[in-house]
Amino acid sequence: MVKFRRLASPINLPIHGPKTPLPLPSISPLLSVSEDKPDIIRLGSPYDRLDRFFIGLKPTWGGIDAIEFTEGVDVAYVQQRQIQDIQPLKFTETSHTNLVNLKEVFVAKKMVYFLYDSWGISLEQIQELSPKLQLGEVEVATICQGILEALQYVHTVLGISHGHVSLPNILITRDGTVKLANIGESMIQGSGQDRKENDIQAVCAIARLLLGLDTTSGLRGTIGFLAEDFTGAPKTITATGLLKHAFLQIGAGPWCLRPLNILCTLARQSYNI
């Protein structure tokens, strides 16, 4: 009778060679995604994706490096930035009417590509046409309310500061909606109470500039006094608190800002700017 050799269980088989565990796959230290947030991070360059169609812009258009025109999906606006110091980053999808919302983030080596859902004409472009094109109190109040609504979301929901509240980063879309841009860069820089205070003070400074309060002499009407009081808000005030100011009550909503894109185009043509 033939004797069969009994095989040992594979669990108990002796291990030959060095008893060192196999290394587990590691996650790039550049990426950090919250488990309760949708994953919007992609590795590599978006331009290398065969299923996506982008048109590059040289020179850039208002800070936009490319526009996506992939069939079946909404148009996306691409900003690419170089990261000098590699550190853990956390990105999350955003959703607010007054924010240029972040849709996707591509990370390739030390480059980051932000894909946003909308764009528009910036306050910097509008201000370049001054005094040919001058905004009034109603338009400025509407713009300030939109910025503060966006900052309220950024400060409380996202829990960060924006850090770059300035004329180039405040956009007016074709339908007259005020949008705060470049939230992706804000997620890189992090937060801080002093930075949140600086965001609010930046809104006040923008209002003073657009209304020309520092260059106008003499007495002003009731709305002028309200504007002066609004722009002189204390540093400790929050976006929620400043949204209650009476100056913002004269705002008329997006409809009063809809003509700005056309008016800017006409002003450039008329004055050869």
Q: Which of 15-19, 26-30, 193-197: highest mean pLDDT?
A: 193-197
Q: Could you read off the pLDDT of 206-261 as tens digits, one per residue? A: 999 999 998 876 657 889 899 999 999 999 999 999 999 999 999 999 999 999 99
Q: Return the CATH number of the domain spanning residue range 41-116.
A: 3.30.200
119-162: per-residue pLDDT in tens? 999 999 999 998 888 899 999 999 999 999 999 999 999 999 99
Query: In this predicted model, what pLDDT tens digit does every residue of 110-127 receive, in sequence order?
Result: 899 999 999 999 999 999
Residue 8: the pLDDT is 47
pLDDT for 273 equals: 65
Return all residues near 205 (Cβ < 8 A) that are at least 6 apart.
231
Q: Is the pLDDT of residue 89 over 80?
A: no
* Integer CA distances (angstroms), 17 to 7, 12, 13, 14, 24, in order: 21, 15, 13, 10, 19
Secondary structure (DSSP) of 185-241: HHHHH---HHHHHHHHHHHHHHHHHHHTTTT--S---HHHHHHHHHHT--TT--HHH
d(CA 115, CA 101): 9
Instruction: Please give the average per-residue pLDDT across 65-77, as a whole number.
Output: 95
Tokens encoding 215: 């260059």
If pLDDT is split at 50, 70 and 90, which confidence band does 10 have? very low
4: pLDDT confidence band, cut at 50, 70 and 90? very low
Q: For the chain, what is the mean pLDDT?
A: 85
How far does Cα 26 stand from its chain's mean position? 30
* Residue 251 confidence (pLDDT): 95
pLDDT at residue number 126: 94
Cα separation of 49 and 127, whole Å?
38
Q: Is the pLDDT of residue 86 over 90?
A: no
pLDDT value for 168: 96
Q: What is the pLDDT of residue 3?
A: 52
The whole model's pTM is what? Answer: 0.83
Q: Which of 122, 102, 116, 103 is nearest to 173 (CA)?
A: 122
For 39-67, what is each residue's pLDDT tens digit? 889 999 999 999 999 999 999 988 899 99
- Asked if residues 95 and 101 have their Cβ atoms less than 8 Å apart, the reply is yes
Topology match between the domains 41-116 and 121-270: no
- The predicted structure's pLDDT at residue 267: 85
The domain defined by 121-270 folds into: Transferase(Phosphotransferase); domain 1 (1.10.510)
Has residue 36 got a pLDDT over 80?
no
Q: What Cα–Cα distance (Å) separates residue 152 from each residue in 13, 94, 197?
A: 62, 13, 12
Could you state, in order of their start, the residue ranges of all structural domains in the chain? Answer: 41-116, 121-270
CA distance 229 to 227: 5
